[in-house]
Amino acid sequence: MLYVFATSPNNLKPGDLRLHSGGLTHLINVVEELGIVENHKSVQYRKEGAYTPGAKGEWLWDVDYRMSDICLSEGITWDWFPAEWTFGSGITCHKTSANPEYETVVHGTDLQLDDFLREYGSTKLADLELERRHIQHEGWLEYEARWLPGTCPQYEHQVFLTWVMTVDPLPEFAYERLRSVVEDGVALKDTHLYNHDQGAMFSTIRKWDGKPASFSVSAASHVASIAAGLSLNANELEAVDAGSDARTGTLIDQPTNAATPTRKEELVAIGKDNWTAAQQKELIELLASE
């Protein structure tokens, strides 16, 4: 049985801890014993049915599914998923991002301001009215058609879905409990039964600040790690900002590893004053065999 739930972004506050797929599996199978998650690698759920793994997997059975009421109220039905959609197995926390494109045109025309002036010549701006219009390109039209008519947000947005596959249909009380955890973020029971190590069963909700991601290690440490891998000293490498330094740079030759010494060379390197009787005998035998 396949269950699809929606998680409103309003319920995702930075710093909150939410169960990820592993944590939800633990909740269902162990902590609250709501059912058994279908997490067998030999079963893969797709839009058109359950199959064995692989591009040409063998059909096993039709998929029974249930969309939550919140999904339906937001315009997300079973048809929201394209025909080739794959759900996998177990539990998946999914996110879809959509970014509609807009253009500014002169009202009553399809022309942007520069194109309008080029075609009609100088015009008083006070006589013009500009409007921001959504570009209905093919990709957007296909995406919008997945929603119920009139429900697809016409602005940049994200869709958070969680789907759960169980061996058997959940009793209604179990379904409602799972739905309230996923969609409403209600408090968990027996929290001591969960592994609270970072990332083990919980994910920390973070809000992207719009800034590029940065390394968590210092530049000096990063250079030192690279130098060690090249068998060089850190001061033999120069760190530059790739975004502002236009130099092409020069590749450093990878040092070659010295050949492994022969047993004879090892014994000679020890020195005659330090040979044991066994080593001296071994060296004599090696020299005699040459």
Q: What is the pLDDT of residues 51-103, one digit of tens each?
A: 888 777 888 888 899 999 999 999 999 999 998 898 988 999 888 888 888 77
Name the maximum alpha-carbon separation found in the chain.
Answer: 107
Alpha carbons 52 and 167: distance in angstroms, whole number: 15
Q: Are the C-beta atoms of residues 253 and 230 closer than 8 Å to each other?
A: no
pLDDT in tens, 228-251: 656 566 565 655 544 444 455 555
Alpha carbons 180 and 73: distance in angstroms, whole number: 16
HSE (CB half, 13 Å, CA atoms) of 38? 21
Residue 16 pLDDT level (bands cut at 50, 70, 90): low
Kindly state the tokens that stand for 76. Answer: 């997300």
3-class state of residue 195 by DSSP: coil
Q: How remote is the C-alpha of 278 from its chain's centroid?
A: 61
Per-residue pLDDT, 31: 93
Q: Are the C-beta atoms of residues 247 and 239 closer than 8 Å to each other?
A: no
- DSSP bridge partners of 134: 102
